[in-house]
Amino acid sequence: MSGIEQARTWIEQARSVAILTGAGISAESGIPTFRGTGGLWRNHRPEDLATPEAFARDCLLVWEWYDQRRQWIAKAAPNPGHFAIARLQRSKPGCTLITQNVDGLHDRAGSAGILKLHGDIWRLRCTTCRAEWPDRRAPLPRLPPKCQCGGIARPGVVWFGEDLPPGAWSSAQEAAQSVETLLVVGTSAVVYPAASLIPLARAAGATVVEVNTEETPASTAAHCCLRGLSGEILPALIPVPPDS
**Interacting residue ranges for ligand BV8, rule: CB under 6 A:** 22-24, 27-28, 33-36, 47, 50, 100-102, 118, 157-164, 169, 186-188, 190-193, 211-214, 216, 229-231
Using CB atoms, what's the residue nearest to ligand BV8? 24
| Nearest-approach distance from CB 145 to Zn ion, in angstroms | 11
By CB under 5 A, residue 151 contacts Zn ion: yes
Q: In this complex, which beta carbon is closest to ligand BV8, that of residue 34 or of residue 83?
A: 34
d(CA 104, CA 111): 10
Binding partner at 126 among ligand BV8, Zn ion, none, C-beta below 5 to 8 Å by kind: Zn ion
By CB under 5 A, residue 129 contacts Zn ion: yes
CA torsion 85-86-89-92 (nearest 10°) is: -80
By CB under 5 A, residue 240 contacts Zn ion: no
| Nearest-approach distance from CB 79 to ligand BV8, in angstroms | 8
CA atoms within 13 A on the CB side of 233: 25
Integer Rg of the chain from CA: 18
Binding partner at 128 among ligand BV8, Zn ion, none, C-beta below 5 to 8 Å by kind: Zn ion
Q: In this complex, which beta carbon is closest to ligand BV8, that of residue 63 or of residue 169?
A: 169
Any idea what the Cα angle at residue 101 is, between residues 138 and 127, rounded to 5°?
60
Q: In this complex, which beta carbon is closest to Zn ion, that of residue 60 or of residue 131?
A: 131
By CB under 5 A, residue 153 contacts Zn ion: no
Q: Is 118 a catalytic residue?
A: yes
Give residues with Cβ within 8 angstroms of 52, minimum separation 6: 159, 161, 162
Question: Which of 40, 42, 34 minimizes the C-alpha distance to 60?
Answer: 42
CA torsion 8-28-91-109 (nearest 10°) is: 180
Out of 44, 82, 106, 118, which one is annotated catalytic? 118
| Nearest-approach distance from CB 55 to ligand BV8, in angstroms | 11
Dihedral pair phi/psi, residue 47, rounded to 5°? -60, -30
| Nearest-approach distance from CB 141 to Zn ion, in angstroms | 17
**Cα separations in angstroms, 77 against 40, 48, 85, 87, 137:** 22, 27, 15, 16, 16
| Of the residues 13, 128, 170, 220, which one makes contact with Zn ion according to CB under 5 A | 128
